[in-house]
Chain A
Amino acid sequence: AQSVTQLDSHVSVSEGTPVLLRCNYSSSYSPSLFWYVQHPNKGLQLLLKYTSAATLVKGINGFEAEFKKSETSFHLTKPSAHMSDAAEYFCVVSERSSASKIIFGSGTRLSIRP
């Protein structure tokens, strides 16, 4: 069975400092991994995805994530936080091409201090 764990429910950083949102996964197969962002009262928007190509994945708004199979991790990073990054972030794992096997993490709320 597959699962995904977001290690922090809330992360707070100062504007201009690095962001690290942690995600560990468990999967019996070669998974696809995603990060989605949800701004307040909005739907989810895809930030980036890993589907067995390059292990370092670049997304929108300066975010990137590295797939580390040995550590079963897919942490999201950004070198310099901006106030507009304040949102909820979800790590998602899916078994390739399986509609029913898409598992969402519980989310990490990112706050940005001025």
Chain B
Amino acid sequence: NAGVTQTPKFQVLKTGQSMTLQCAQDMNHNSMYWYRQDPGMGLRLIYYSASEGTTDKGEVPNGYNVSRLNKREFSLRLESAAPSQTSVYFCATGVLDGRTDTQYFGPGTRLTVL
């Protein structure tokens, strides 16, 4: 039972390159999220998926796209990377039902865009 896994752990890109960050969960949760973490700013929501087949924008979606491939997998794509996207990216899954309301986080992907 791995919980939430993310690949890769580290990545360096040049400006304009593209890449996809992968996230998978084995917790059977409906909701999945992508956040970015920047120094002094906490975590900011990029996109989320409340259930398989649905995705919605969060606070900072510009420059990103997502795919909810199935219940387990939620990927984040940078089509044309920019230095402003240098950050640590966290995937999370969770249950928001008024009773549990807890998120579970992956270990993160540290991305540097040169």
A residues bordering B, Cβ < 8 Å?
Answer: 9, 32, 34, 36, 41-46, 49, 51, 90, 94, 96-100, 102, 104-107
Contact = CB atoms under 8 A, between A and B. Distances in A.
B31 interface: yes
B34 interface: no
B94 to A, nearest CB: 8
A98 B42 contact: no
A97 B19 CA distance: 32
Interface residues of B, number: 28
Contacts of A42: 107-108
Contacts of B43: 44, 90, 104
What does DSSP make chain A's interface, helix, strand, loop or mixed?
A: loop
B42 A44 contact: no
B42 A107 contact: yes
Interface in B28-78: 31, 33, 35, 40-45, 48, 50, 56, 58
> Which of A45, A96, A102, A107 has the most chain B CB atoms closer than 10 A to its own CB?
A102
B45 A43 contact: no
Given A43-B108, A44-B105, A46-B103, A99 B98 contact: no
